[in-house]
Amino acid sequence: MSHETISQSISIVHPISLSHGKNAEVWDTTGKRYIDFVGGIGVLNLGHCHAGVVEAIRDQATRLTHYAFNAAPHTPYIELMARLTAFIPVTYPVSGMLTNSGAEAAENALKIVRGATGRTAVIAFDGAFHGRTLATLNLNGKVAPYKQKVGVLPGPVYHLPYPSADNGVTCAEALKAMERLFSVEIDVNDVACFIIEPVQGEGGFLALDSEFAQALRRFCDEHDILLIADEIQSGFGRTGQRFAFSRLGIEPDLILLGKSIAGGVPLGAVVGRKALMDNLPKGGLGGTYSGNPIACAAALATLGAMTDEHLHAWGAQQQHAIVSRYESWRAQGLPYLGRLTGVGAMRGIELANADGTPAPQQLAQLLGLARGAGLLLMPSGKSRHIIRLLAPLTIEPVVLEEGLDILEACLKQLD
């Protein structure tokens, strides 16, 4: 199928055309079946065409397909926000707004923190990814390809090392870099917020150091700086909990949501402390499609399926399967097999040379081998050398094992 009418600036990982899917399996237009370890890049925690989500979409489509909430409120938006704010595991009163995507949630969060603090500077982290819109580009901790050829970006934005056991950056090193930043680069009193992923996605599934997270929370409190947690990829059960920040022992001031919030229908949100969310003038937040009724209905069905019991069981099952298989591969001495990164079902497998340097060429080879064998994988990491495993949480155990079998066979073929 020709892509001539589609911008060639869109990069495609897998040169196939998908036709349909069910839970963790998809089929292309030739009828070939694939096991899906990409999940729409973390969008399909409940899998393709989840029965409850599909039913909710169909039912809502017969009632009201769209209304702009800021023109006239509708019940799906109201019901979803009540359910969603109750789903956020924090101790303070929560309110929020719905958006069309995670990037749009990040953009609105920047407006909110500027209004609340009267400051403009933002501190982000190396390896971060927060979106492809103009303001979020500058938050990303990587130039190529996101920041190339677009000129001066909105700011000011500064970056710090991201401390994680998965990348070897310690809490002490990150704190030392932060001390330098505020002694050399910028006055701490000019900083509006820190924005951080509890587990980096694009960066290679790196889990944030909990000691650093708690030190950062204390620092923000001492200096009246807001803390934003980007849970767009790590949220809604990917780590075995509702949200990944809970494992860090902190509560952020604002939380960015998206991806798996609505079972594959475009939706995002920014939620947090009610006083922050209410600080802009009337009309300062909103959007024509933000909180579309069909998307809200899909999100309500999604939240209904995401009980703590389900999330824990799904996460534990995937974690056990992935970790057990990885340890077997290590014992076999598979070539180019590097570290296992991440937590829960949010796992990355690094491909590395014997000297520990990244092996992006082997990852590119692996993508093709796996696709040919019926498995779709997604790359990540600064050097594009880490496989990120994003199979639906609801994947059948037999299908998960089949996918891991394919991955093992392909790893053995790398040269």
Q: Is residue 46 part of a domain?
A: no
User: Same domain for 296 and 312?
Assistant: no
Residue 216 is encoded by which pair of tokens? 């950062």
Q: Which H/E stretch holds residue 399?
A: helix 397-411
Residues 228 and 320 in one domain: no
Please indicate, yes or no, whether residues 250 and 284 belong to a single structural domain of this protein: yes
22 part of a folded domain = no
- Per-residue pLDDT, 140: 81
What 3-state DSSP class applies to 139?
helix
Q: What is the pLDDT of residue 147?
A: 75
- Same-domain check for residues 362 and 405: yes
Give per-residue pLDDT as tens, 209-245: 999 999 999 999 999 999 999 999 999 999 999 999 9
Residues 290 and 216 in one domain: yes
In a domain, 85, yes or no: yes
For the sheet containing 18-22, what is the strand order?
A: 18-22, 25-28, 33-36, 375-376
Q: How far is CA 8 from CA 19, 141, 188, 378, 384, in A?
A: 22, 24, 42, 20, 20
Sequence-separated (6 or more) residues with CB below 8 Å from residue 248: 198, 208, 210, 213, 214
Is position 112 within any domain? yes
Exposure string (b/e) for 295-307, b if CB count within 10 Å is 16 or more?
A: bbbbbbbbbebbe
CATH code (residue 250): 3.40.640.10
Residues 199, 162 share a domain:
yes
Q: What is the pLDDT of residue 155?
A: 78
* C-alpha distances out from residue 387 to 25, 316, 328, 333, Å: 18, 20, 17, 18
Residue 35, domain member (yes or no)? no
Domain that holds residue 108: 53-305
Please tell me the predicted confidence (pLDDT) of residue 406. Answer: 98
Give the pLDDT score at 79: 98
- Overall number of domains in the chain: 2
Model confidence over 176-202: pLDDT tens digits? 999 999 999 999 999 999 999 999 999
| Domain final residue pick, 257, 278, 305 | 305
**CA–CA separation, 302 and 21 (whole Å):** 17
Instruction: Fill in the DSSP letter of residue 285.
Output: S
Question: What's the pLDDT at 153?
Answer: 62
Please indicate, yes or no, whether residues 231 and 315 belong to a single structural domain of this protein.
no
- 335-340, long-range: CB within 8 Å, 24+ apart, which pairs? 335/411, 335/414, 336/362, 336/411, 336/414, 337/411, 338/385, 339/166
Task: Give the domain-ending residue among 286, 305, 324.
Answer: 305
Q: Residue 179 domain-assigned?
A: yes
Beta bridge partners of 271: 96, 255
Asked if 200 and 231 sit in the same domain, the reply is yes
Longest dimension (CA), the chain: 62
Q: For every one of its 415 residues, what pLDDT tens digit does the chain have, with 9 covering 90 and above?
A: 567 899 898 889 999 999 999 999 999 999 999 999 999 999 999 999 999 999 999 999 999 999 999 999 999 999 999 999 999 999 999 999 999 999 999 999 999 999 999 999 999 999 999 998 888 888 887 776 777 876 666 779 999 999 999 999 999 999 999 999 999 999 999 999 999 999 999 999 999 999 999 999 999 999 999 999 999 999 999 999 999 999 999 999 999 999 999 999 999 999 999 999 999 999 999 999 999 999 999 999 999 999 999 999 999 999 999 999 999 999 999 999 999 999 999 999 999 999 999 999 999 999 999 999 999 999 999 899 999 999 999 999 999 999 999 999 999 999 8
Instruction: Look at residue 115 and tell me if it is in a domain.
Output: yes
Looking at the structure, do residues 297 and 314 belong to the same domain, yes or no? no
Residues 280, 335 share a domain: no
Q: How big is the chain by its Cα radius of gyration, in Å?
A: 21
Of 258, 277, 305, which residue constitutes the final position of a domain? Answer: 305
Three-state DSSP class for 304? helix
Query: Which domain CATH number covers 356?
Result: 3.90.1150.10
Whether 13 maps to a domain, the answer reads no
Q: Are residues 369 and 262 in the same domain?
A: no
SS3 letters across 322-389:
HHHHHHHHHHHCCCCEEEEEEECCEEEEEEECCCCCECHHHHHHHHHHHHHHCEECEEECCCCCEEEE
Letter for the amino acid at 385? H
**Same domain assignment for residues 343 and 222:** no
